[in-house]
């Protein structure tokens, strides 16, 4: 019977441990991502749905107005709209561009 060299056994154990670490890291990344999405609250009643819809429509219109004022087109407009919709929305924080005063 032939003996396996010691370095070959050590290399096999190292490969196995690295594989376990990689699988564990990947699983943690998947779980942490799914937990973040699971915490979102969805409207349930018709009144909540209408309020959420109005809020989204108002935000879209506000972002559209800002893009129009900046004369953005195509890719720049798309990227601006995407980023604008992701920002926190406060009605009182809208600034009139010409006067610099709050609405």
Number of domains composing the chain: 2
Pair (28, 62) in one structural domain: no
In a domain, 100, yes or no: no
Provide CB contacts within 8 A for 30, sequence distance 6+: none
Q: Do 101 and 95 contact (CB within 8 A), yes or no?
A: yes
Residues of the chain with pLDDT under 50: 92-93, 95-96, 103
Is residue 67 within 8 A of residue 80, CB to CB? The reply is: yes
Q: What local confidence, expressed as pLDDT, does residue 77 receive?
A: 95
Q: Is position 51 within any domain?
A: yes
Residue 4 belongs to a domain = yes
Give pLDDT, residue 82: 93
- CA nearest neighbour of 43 among 53, 34, 30: 53
Please list, residue by residue across 27-63, b when 16 or more beta carbons sit within 10 angstroms of its beta carbon and e when fewer do.
Answer: eeeeeeeeeeeeeeeeeeeeeeeeeeeeeeeeeeeeb
Distance CA(37)–CA(17), nearest Å, equals 31
pTM: 0.47
């Amino acid at each position: 019977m032939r003996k396996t060299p010691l370095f070959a056994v050590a290399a096999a154990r190292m490969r196995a441990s690295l594989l376990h670490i990689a699988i564990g890291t990947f699983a943690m990344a998947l779980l942490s991502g799914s937990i973040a999405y699971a915490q979102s609250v969805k409207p349930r009643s018709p009144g909540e749905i209408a309020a959420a819809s109005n809020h989204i429509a108002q935000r879209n219109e506000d972002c559209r107005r800002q893009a129009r004022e900046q004369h953005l087109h195509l890719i720049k407009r798309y990227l601006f709209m995407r980023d604008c919709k992701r920002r926190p929305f406060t009605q009182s924080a809208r600034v009139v561009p010409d006067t610099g005063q709050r609405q």
